[in-house]
Amino acid sequence: MATEIQISFDANDPPKLAGFWAQALGYVQQPPPPGFATWEEFAVKNNIPFDSVDDYAAIIDPDGRGPRFLFQRVPEGKTAKNRVHLDIRPGLDAVARLVSLGATRVREHNDQTGHWVVMLDPEGNEFCVS
């Protein structure tokens, strides 16, 4: 049996970055735990300081097949190329939609190994679209 995984992103603005990736992947915001109507209610009940509520955001596959994505606030900005990146496969026609959501198109690659577009998410994390 395979091990369940979570993909974690360091972020400057976790809710905003989670929103971008939710739209890019067809994911949804993770609902609050059972017994809580909202994440704010969960935070109050668990004595999470108001200024820390947006330090985390998570998105999930609504069909339950893909991994959970966690976005966590960190004090430092991105300083180097990712050593790991996502390859998403919505088709190259999705590049314009991703740009409209806040992504940046970096370059296109097309040779005998394949055809894809290298992009940056709104916080500069590299990903590829094919």
How far apart (Å, rounded) are the C-alpha atoms in residues 22 and 59? 6
Q: What is the CATH number of domain 1-75?
A: 3.30.720.120
How far apart (Å, rounded) are the C-alpha atoms in residues 53 and 60? 19
In words, the CATH class of domain 84-130 is: alpha beta
Residue 52: predicted pLDDT = 85
Residue 108: predicted pLDDT = 96
- Residue 80: pLDDT band by 50, 70, 90 thresholds? confident
How far apart (Å, rounded) are the C-alpha atoms in residues 51 and 123? 21
Mean pLDDT for the stretch of residues 35-41: 91
pTM to 2 decimals?
A: 0.91
Q: Give the domain ranges of the chain.
A: 1-75, 84-130
